Each structure stands twice: as structure tokens, then as C-alpha cells.
Amino acid sequence: MAGKLTALAVQRQKTPGMYGDGGGLWLQVTGKGAKSWIFRFTLHGKAREMGLGSANTFSLAEARENALACRKLRAEGHDPIEVRNCQRQEAAIEAAKAVTFRDCATAYIEAHKAGWSNPKHAAQWTATLETYAYPVFGSLPVRGVDTALVMRAVEPIWTSKSETAGRVRGRIEAVLDWASTRGYRMGENPARWKGHLANLLPKQSRVRQVEHHPALPFDEVPAFLRSVANQPGTAARALTFVILTATRTGEVIGARWAEIDRASGVWTVPANRMKARTEHRVPLSAGAQTILAAMAEIRIDEFVFPGGKRGRPLSNMAMLAVLKRMGRADITVHGFRSSFRDWASETTHVPSDVVEMALAHTIDSKVEAAYRRGDLLPKRRALMDDWAAYCGAYHPSAPAEMAGAD
């Protein structure tokens, strides 16, 4: 319908005030020059106002159409404001249905990373969720994540990787809390521990007590290696070599110079010293090569890490003795393989089969084993280089300090 206002008048109006167009539609001009559309109507004998948007966004013609729709609602006995609020709520619910857990996790990390003291935390969060949560429910609407789905993500690793599992559960809980606050989901948090998952899973403290190889959290490994570098003796060098190569004690103390190809950076462990009884090639990072260079300066026989007697390797208890001397009898040498595995799972995007092969683990699936021909050496080399870089630069003690075997 024709009104009192014109498009040109709306554009030129600068004086603060209310300017009626008719049919309840008004142009409001504020003291700062902002212009907006207002629909005035009466409900139950009381005057009410409803904003119809900025005049910079909606033209006069559009404002008249919106006002007409509001008048029709009033004629039908409806409150235009209440109808709009319901429509917005329904739209929000529909929008929430499309928001996935991955969307929320990404937004949560982005919102919190500036407040994290360690800039690597964002990458760690992403890696753990990509490894354990996203494959189960990452693409599902966050409003549909329930206890069963959370259990599918954490239960398989609850006892075998208890520390990682605890982090995963806590991070899922935080993301779901964020989603609830944002209005993307309702109800209890299915990842909550107290009074919920505590009824389904054993306590983390009890799980860790029964682990066979107590491990150092991977984020403590760099500082630990700096302390090891200050320890004298061959065993301390062997311990660092074990950590940087993610190998087993028996494989390292039995290492012979003939197995080392320093030019190509590969150590070939013969089948008779491997748990799986299969020859295993170990890519040597720059850090591992540094240790070998130091040991080569004091080479006395065929063993890379010689024992106290010529022709005899280092004792299998020597590295444990280093741990005890450092006051770390609470962890084991073998546990550093778990530290490496947790680091790879939580901070990298390396496929699990590459990590498992780096640890020289056997393939459970006979079909997969039959199809796998290579040993993924180039990929494992990149992984071990990243691990060594994460562990930090290593500077071995001078050869004179290493002369005595442990």
C-alpha cells in the first residue's frame, strides 16, 4: 500500500525522530544518524514495538512488506514478536542439527588456543581427536553424541593407553560442554567421569598400577633427555639411543658395528635379536647418529655399547641402573616406547601402521600382512626425524667421560 514516506525521503532524513509511513510502520532516526524500521501495534490493550531491521539493509518497499506480514499475524490473533522468536528458535534447532562434533572441536580449539601456555597444545588436541574421536563420531551431529559413542572411542584404549585415553575423554567432555553452552546440544555430558563413565570404566590410577611398563609422559621426555645427557657412562648413551630409536633394550645392548650403515643412516637388527624373529631396519635420526659418532671414538670391540669386559655387551640392567641413579625408578626403559607411541598418536598425523612398524610390532591381520611388501622405511625415517627433533638437540658427554662402562 502507498505510505507517507518515499525512498528519497528515507535516504535524506537526518533529523532524529520517528517518521510514520502508515499501517504501523515507522522510520526511526537516532541522534547518531542510524536509521531503522519499527512496527508498532497494540496487544491486549498495550502498545508494543517490533524492530524490522536497519534502513540500510531493508528498503522502504521491503519494510512495507514486513509490516504487512506483521499486520496479518495480528489480524489472525498472533503476537508478531512471539512468532518471530519461535521461528528463530526453530531455525537455530535446525542449524544445530547440521553442526558436527568435528565442527565444535575445531571451534573449541580455535577459541582456546590463545590462552594455552604451550602453542603445541592445539596440535595435540587435534591429533588425539582425529585419531580416537573423529573416526567414531566426528562427522555426526554433536547433539547426537551419546554415552555409547564416547565409550566406543575410549574403551578400546582405556587399559592399554590409559594416559592417552584419559586425555581423549577429557577433551571430548570439554568440546561437548562448549557445544552445550553454544546451544548445539542439550542434556547431560556423556563424557563426564564422575557419576557417569566412572560407573562403566576402571579408575585411571588403578589402570596405571597394573601397566607392565610404566612410561614417562611424552611431554616430559625432552627434559628427561637433557638430564640423561649429564649422566656419565655408556649406559646413559645407550638409554638415549633406545629413546631416540624407540627400540627394545635387547636390541640396543646387542647392537654391533657391523649392523650399522652410517652412510645411509640405517641400523639393521638381525632376526635373532628381534621379538618377532624378523629382521628390522631402523632409520637413524641425526640425534641417534650423534650418539654413534661419540661411541665410535671409544670403540673397543664389535659392540656399539660395550660392557665392562672386552667382547661383552652392556648388561641388560645397566640402563635401569641409570634410571635409579636419576631417581626415576618409577619408570622403565621399555616404557619409552609407549611415550613414543603416545607422542605419535597425539601430536602427528602419521598413520598408525607406520607407527606400529616403527615399533617393530607384528601385524595381527594375516591378510594385511600378506599384502604388505615393504617396511615403510622412508615414512618411518621422517617419523623418527620428527621424534628426535621433538626430543631436542642432544649433546653427548665427551668420550673421556664415557670411558667407564656401567
Q: Are residues 203 and 251 in the same domain?
A: no
358 and 305 within one domain: yes
Q: Tell me: the pLDDT tens digits for 151-185?
A: 999 999 898 888 889 999 999 999 999 999 998 88
Is 1 domain-assigned? no
Residues 270 and 372 in one domain: yes
Per-residue pLDDT at 364: 47
Domain count for the chain? 3
**Last residue of a domain, which of 165, 186, 209?**
209
The reported pTM is 0.52
Q: Across residues 325-332, what is the average pLDDT?
A: 90
Q: Is there a single domain that holds both residue 394 and residue 296?
A: yes
- The phi and psi torsions of 19 (rounded to 5 degrees) equal -125, 115
**Contact (CB, 8 A) for 333 and 245:** no
My answer on whether 58 and 107 are in the same domain is no
Per-residue model confidence as pLDDT tens digits over 267-291: 999 988 888 788 999 999 999 999 9
Question: How confident is the model over 236-252, as pLDDT tens digits?
Answer: 999 999 999 999 999 99
Interacting residues of 98 by C-beta distance below 8 A, sequence separation 6+: 141
Q: Per DSSP, what are the bridge partners of residue 207? A: none
Answer whether 297's CB lies under 8 Å from 305's CB: no
371 has pLDDT over 70: no
- pLDDT tens for each residue of 344-354: 988 888 888 89
Range of the domain at 20: 7-96
Inside any domain, residue 30? yes
Q: Note whether 37 and 147 are same-domain residues.
A: no
Average per-residue pLDDT for the chain? 87
Last residue of a domain, one of 209, 229, 258: 209
